[in-house]
């Protein structure tokens, strides 16, 4: 998971870990090493993608499932690298999406 908001990272990390998922959480794209390791999916706040020119290209090249957390207000990203989930959302929505990737794997 890559999200600049500490509260969001902590809440989503907790929700996913309670369900048995291993979560690696990062504040920004530059500190994220998740692309170098095998992962079920990437959960990325769209603020991260908007703030880093390389993030969108790296996500598209990563060949991984991506859940992009959007604010629901900003214009959608062109060539979005994955599924979108608008904030605010219920934790169950995120879990459903992550589980769908788990079942497909």
Categorize the per-residue pLDDT at 27 as very low, low, confident or very high, splitting at 50, 70 and 90. very high
Q: What mean pLDDT, rounded, does the chain reach?
A: 86
Categorize the per-residue pLDDT at 54 as very low, low, confident or very high, splitting at 50, 70 and 90. confident
Predicted confidence at residue 75, as pLDDT, reads 62
pLDDT of 7 higher than 70? yes
Predicted confidence at residue 81, as pLDDT, reads 62
pLDDT of 62 higher than 80? no
The rounded Cα 3 to chain-centroid distance in angstroms is: 8
Q: For every residue of 12-65, which 3-state class applies, written as one string?
A: HHHHHHHCCCCCCCECCCCCCCHHHCCCCEEEEEHHHHHHCHHHHHHHHHCCCE
Q: Which CATH architecture has domain 6-104?
A: 3-Layer(aba) Sandwich (3.40)
pTM: 0.86
């Amino acid at each position: 998971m890559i999200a600049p908001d500490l509260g969001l990272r902590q809440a989503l990390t907790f929700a996913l870990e309670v369900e048995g998922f291993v979560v690696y959480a990062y504040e920004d794209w530059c500190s994220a090493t998740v692309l170098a390791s095998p992962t079920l999916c990437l959960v990325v706040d769209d603020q991260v993608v908007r703030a880093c020119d390389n993030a969108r290209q790296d996500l598209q090249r990563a060949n991984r499932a991506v859940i992009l957390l959007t604010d629901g207000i900003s214009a959608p990203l062109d060539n979005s690298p994955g599924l979108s989930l608008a904030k605010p959302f219920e934790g169950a929505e995120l879990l459903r999406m992550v589980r769908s990737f788990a079942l497909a794997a």
